[in-house]
Amino acid sequence: MKKILVADDEMSIRLLYSEELKEEGYEVYQAANGREALDIVDKIPLDLVILDIKMPEMDGIEALRQIKEKRPDLPVILSTAYGEYKKDFATWASDEYLVKSSDLEDLKAVVKRYLKE
Amino acid sequence: MAGERAAFLTQMVEVLTSTVSFGERLNNMVHLLARNLKVDLALYFGLDKARETLLLNVSSQGPVPPRLRLEFPLGQGLVGETARTRKSTIVHRQQPGVSAANAALEKLAPAYQTLAAFPVADDNFLYGVLILADRAERSLTAAERQGVQLTCLMLAAALRQAIVQEEAKKRIAELSVLFEVGKALTSTVELDELLERIVSTTAKVITARGAALHIINAVTGELRVSSRYGQISMECPALPQIPPSGAATEPPYYEGESTDAAGHTHYCLAVPLTFKGQLTGTLGVYDKFNPNGEYLPFDPENRQLLFTMAGVIVNAIENALTYQQVEDLAEKNERMVRNLTALQEISQVMLTSVQEERLQEIILQGLTQEHGLGFDRAVVLIVDEATQTLIGAKGACRSAATRDLPNLKALQVPPPEMIPVTDWEIPLRVDQGPLALAVLRKSPYHHHQTVKEPGLPPALEGKYAAQEFFVVPLVVKDRATGVILVDNQASGRPLEPERLHTLQMFATQAALVLENAHLYSTIETNNRELLLIRERMLESDRLAALSSLASGMAHEIRNPLVSIGGFARRIAKLVEPNSPLRGYVEVIQEEVTRLEKLLREILDFSGENLSYYGDHELAKLIEDTLILVQRDLDANKIKVAREFAQMPRLHCDDRQMKQVFYNLFQNAIQAMPHGGTLSIRTFPVERADGLYAAASIADTGSGIPMEVLHNIFNPFFSTKDYGTGLGLAIAQRIISRHYGQIEVNNEIGKGVTFIVTLPVAKYCLVKDVGQGAVPASVLRVPKGGR
């Protein structure tokens, strides 16, 4: 079973994403900020990370940088309420940049694309 | 004896003092002497000084026929010898050499035995020789000899008196001639009249049929003036380079002789007129005649007189010439003052305007009006720096109506007839004729047909026919900004060179005021642009503030919306299809979707989206967008009319541009709920700062109510109960980011037309009012900028 980490400071979002992704047949881990996310990356052989950007303690951009340092092969999808971070080229290290939407079909399609073997 | 002698002397004195003519007296004296001495023959030989010859003048035997007019050169024969030695001699035939030396005398005194010779001289001069011949061999007594010598002295006195008399007569004649001439000369200073008088007086005093006078400019060789009177039978030289036909000591003169068809011989005599200045010439007379009308050659006396006259005349002519020059100068001065006055007046009028068009009109009026420079026709051409072309700005010809206006106030009235010249285009190259050359060389040009110089440029051939014209450049700060072209073709009046000078002065003024006007209009344009930019910046500031507020709020809302919507979807999946809950959940879902869409629009508006600039075809962008609204078009039964022009590609963000058209189409569709026509047209627009591509989107709806028209581009303004009210605001924002404009034409009851105008980057100088989205490398200086 593919392992996915969802990192978002909003609990409701974490819950929504987990539920939906579990339904698609993935094993989902959760983190409330960048630091927690990095811990999980260290401990668990993840297949994909979904990162929010605006988070307390460590934001998604810093987390992204460190994840890509540790595991360059690990696909990271940035999922944020802000479109303008696209201009920050630190986000270009991510594999995908999605603006959050209540319709998760786009997100699920992208995840599926990265994890299709 | 003494009584006889006294009687002889008394007789002699009587003869000497008699009032008969000199020749008669001479005759009588010689006769008296011969009779008194009882010699067969007495002869008087007069001395011709010039020829050094003694010529038989008087014989006691009566008049001497021409064949017997003996001549003895000085020192030859008894006559010549006596003249040389001035001593009296008596010789006899049998003496050796006498017969041979005096053989010539045999003709008059065939068998003479005795010859007595006495010099006729006073203390200073020898006048001639007196010869006494007798057939008897005889001698003279001392008393006789004394008597002869006395007679000789008397003869000398008579001769001297005659010469003095003759000279006095000549002097008087000369003086009277000079008086005549003087009278003629002082009567006028008008050159022509003076010359006429000179030639007529000259002819009169010399009793010649004709006279002529020529004066030439010694430097250029041109004939300056000439005057003729009476019959001129031949040409005598105008230049005093006359072969000296007299003695070397005499000044040069010319004598001509010719025979006409009828066999009459004509004579001419000319003497030089030499001025101290640069003029030179000749005074000539033709055909002297006697009272019988016969032509006679001119004698030295005539020559002398002519010389004297020439000397007097020269000064008078020189005076007259000087006078004429002064008059010419005065006239020129007056003309200059007139010109300057006109120039000044025109200048003043020119200062009344700073509009280039109006100034060009004033300039043309000044050039063509009688009280201005008075040319028949004038054209102003202006240099277009960008294309290096001389372009016709305005042309005018003198109109009959304004011809006689009293003063230059006339410049305030409607201009003369205008000539269309705006299609005149002359490239600024040396092979393009005098107009281009005047600009390139910054020098004026006087064209006349006689000089085969560069003609008209091909662009003007046929349009502009003038034999003679002036071209002067308009030069400001060492830069030619245009030319003025004038001619007098209509009236055929010549263009005097000094008018070119005046025209140049005028052109200097004209160039200055035109340049000022140009600068003024540039400042005005810049001012307008600055105002526009300021307005735009203010607006963009307002929008920026608004958008940052909007984006802050939007983000805060987005996260909860995602959760609400996401879970609503999850609930929907779990709810039974027939459950009433399903409807509720769907409402939540739809509302969230609507809110999310609103958010996207707000955030788009706030500029969070990245730009994707590329070169795109306007028509293609429109077609792509039309596909997106096709369903709505069909639903409202709206027809689409397209009219796309060929245009260069636009440098733009295609997604944003599609957004613009999408919004405009949506508005149009909503304006036509019951069908209609959506007319879409693209076309190029040429503006002062470059080429623009325009698209007009017109609906056939009811139009925008007037009271809300001014609000339509404001964010959050909407007349509709759906939508965000951002559609047009977003469109405007995107367009202004592309340095374009959006305008609206609203016709109540007929529909609304939106016109989007976007710069075609490669042909536009777009002012960077916002982010510099247009690469500098594609910017070019636009056409028409100076």
The verdict on residue B425 lying in a domain is yes
Number of domains in chain B: 4
How many C-beta atoms surround the C-beta of residue B120 within 10 A? 26
CATH T-level topology, domain A3-114: Rossmann fold (3.40.50)
Beta strands in A17-80 (DSSP E): 27-31, 48-51, 76-80
Cβ pair B152, B44 in contact under 8 A: no
What SS3 state is found at B734? helix
The verdict on residue B450 lying in a domain is yes
pLDDT tens, position by position, B602-640 = 676 555 444 567 788 899 899 988 888 888 899 999 999
CB contact under 8 A, A81 and B560: no
Facing residue for B562 by CB, picked from A82, A84, A100: A100
**Phi then psi for B376, rounded to 5 degrees?**
-70, -35
Q: Which of B524, B547, B571 is the last residue of a domain?
A: B524
Quick one: pLDDT at residue B452? 58
Q: How far apart are CA B667 and CA B661, in angstroms?
A: 10
User: Percent of chain B scored above 70 by pLDDT?
Assistant: 85
CB contact under 8 A, B555 and A13: no
Cβ pair B529, B689 in contact under 8 A: no
In Å, how far is B766's CA from the nearest CA of chain A? 25
- Chain B residue set in contact with A, beta carbons under 8 Å: 551, 555, 558-570, 589, 592-593, 596, 603, 608-610
Sign (positive or negative) of CA dihedral B160, B166, B170, B173: positive
Kindly state the average pLDDT of the residues B38-63: 86
pLDDT tens, position by position, B416-447 = 567 778 888 888 888 888 888 889 898 888 88
Q: What is the CATH number of the domain that holds B687?
A: 3.30.565.10
Do B391 and B520 fall within a single domain? yes
Do B361 and B484 fall within a single domain? yes
Domain that holds residue B93: 2-168
Do B217 and B306 fall within a single domain? yes
Do B420 and B300 fall within a single domain? no
pLDDT tens, position by position, B288-347 = 888 777 788 888 878 888 888 888 788 777 777 788 888 888 888 887 787 778 778 777
Q: How far apart are CA B459 and CA B431, in angstroms?
A: 12
Q: Give, to the nearest 10 degrees, the angle between helix B727-737 and helix B654-671.
A: 150
Q: Which of B325, B360, B375 is the last residue of a domain?
A: B325
Q: How confident is the model at residue B77 (pLDDT cuts 50, 70, 90)?
A: confident
Beta-carbon contacts below 8 Å between A and B: 53
Beta bridge partners of B384: B389
Sign (positive or negative) of CA dihedral B337, B339, B340, B344: positive
Which of chain B's residues have a Cβ under 8 Å away from the Cβ of A82? 555, 608
Residue B546, class by beta-carbon neighbours within 10 Å (0-12 exposed, 13-18 middle, 19+ buried)?
middle
In Å, how far is A88's CA from the nearest CA of chain B? 11
CB contact under 8 A, B609 and A83: yes
Which of chain B's residues have a Cβ under 8 Å away from the Cβ of A16? 562-563, 566-567, 570
Do B35 and B162 fall within a single domain? yes
CB contact under 8 A, A102 and B570: no
pLDDT tens, position by position, B12-26 = 888 888 888 878 888
In Å, how far is B629's CA from the nearest CA of chain A? 23
Beta strands in B345-388 (DSSP E): 377-384
In Å, how far is A113's CA from the nearest CA of chain B? 21
CB contact under 8 A, A12 and B569: no
CB contact under 8 A, A100 and B603: no
Which contacts of B121-124 are long-range, i.e. CB under 8 A and separated by 24 or more positions? B121/B86, B121/B152, B121/B156, B122/B153, B122/B156, B122/B157, B122/B160
In Å, how far is B706's CA from the nearest CA of chain A? 38
In Å, how far is A103's CA from the nearest CA of chain B? 6
DSSP letter string, B528-595: HHHHHHHHHHHHHHHHHHHHHHHHHHHHHHHHHHHHHHHHHHHHHHHS-TT-HHHHHHHHHHHHHHHH
- Which comes out higher in pLDDT, residue B5 or B208? B208
DSSP single-letter state for residue B339: H
Sign (positive or negative) of CA dihedral B148, B149, B151, B155: positive
**Among candidates B470, B530, B535, which has minimal Cα distance to B498?**
B470
**Among candidates B61, B38, B36, which has minimal Cα distance to B138?**
B38
Q: How far apart are CA B163 and CA B156, in angstroms?
A: 10
Q: Is the pLDDT of residue B214 over 90?
A: no
**Phi then psi for B313, rounded to 5 degrees?**
-60, -40
Do B698 and B742 fall within a single domain? yes
Q: Domain coordinates of chain A in residue numbers? A: 3-114
Mean of all residue pLDDT scores within chain B: 80
Do B145 and B200 fall within a single domain? no
Which of chain B's residues have a Cβ under 8 Å away from the Cβ of A20? 566, 570
Q: What is the CATH number of the domain that holds B157?
A: 3.30.450.40
- Which comes out higher in pLDDT, residue B716 or A40? A40
pLDDT tens, position by position, A68-117 = 888 888 999 999 887 767 666 667 778 888 888 888 888 999 999 998 86
Nearest residue in B to A83, CA atom: B608
Q: Where are the alpha helices (DSSP H) in B141-294?
A: 142-186, 191-205
